[in-house]
Amino acid sequence: MARDISPIVKQSRREGYALHPKAHKVMAKKTGIPGQHANGRPGKPSLYLTQLREKQKVRRTYGLLEKQFSRLIDEATRTAGQGELPGEVLLQFLERRIDNAVYRAGFATSRRAARQLVGHGHFMLNGRRVDIPSIRLKAGDELVVRPKSVKSGYFSQIDEVVKNSIQEPLSWLRSDDKKLTISITGLPTRAEAEADIKEQLIVEYYSR
């Protein structure tokens, strides 16, 4: 399974956005873009560069490769209904990924960690084992930790993971850290996605 293995803190500094909790502390000390001449670059970025950086920020936030991300924006643009904005449809698609749902439920401290849990086959979707993080969930779906995984070191301490989670309750997702289940009760709204994403810039980037 292809994935981006470049250092997450370096990615965060490049995008000017903490893509992982551990990046916050480093970015507080190192505010510049990584690279020998980063601090000598011109001040105001072009519109193209602004769009590119926003696209890269969101792509890396959710852990997608470029080909995956471009396919997703194409689908969002094609399927956006009357009154729907392609950018908001894109965010809904991203939020409905299995790995994101695991992260949003508080079962992992980052999306990268959630992706690893799913990829290692620790979850069952509607009674069937899954190991594909990109599967898109719908209302009525239920994720549950596999019986064989429940006794693992990680899930035996899930109380601590959930307690340290920074996630807020969501209208479309209900989790139970005792039964180790995640139930999808609806669709995510724009207000429940990452607040500081400027999705219209991403749509404009791919519309060039």
Q: Is 8 exposed, middle or buried (0-12, 13-18, 19+ CB in 10 A)?
A: buried
The pLDDT value given to residue 4: 61
The pLDDT value given to residue 122: 97
- What whole-number distance in Å separates Cα of residue 202 and Cα of residue 90? 10
* Same structural domain, 112 and 53: no
The pLDDT value given to residue 75: 98
* Same structural domain, 60 and 33: yes
Residue with tokens 């180790």: 180
Q: Considering its fold, how many domains does the chain have in total?
A: 2
For every one of its 208 residues, what pLDDT tens digit does the chain have, with 9 covering 90 and above?
A: 455 666 766 666 665 766 756 655 665 666 666 665 555 555 788 999 999 999 999 999 999 999 999 999 999 999 998 899 999 999 999 999 999 999 999 999 999 999 999 999 999 999 999 999 999 999 999 999 999 999 888 999 999 999 888 788 999 999 999 999 999 999 999 999 988 999 999 999 999 8
CATH number at residue 85: 1.10.1050.10
* Same structural domain, 174 and 151: yes
* Short-list 115, 120, 64, CA closest to 93: 64
Helices marked H in the chain — which ranges? 8-15, 23-29, 47-61, 66-79, 86-95, 98-104, 111-119, 147-150, 158-163, 199-206
Parent domain of 65: 8-93+194-206
* Same structural domain, 126 and 171: yes
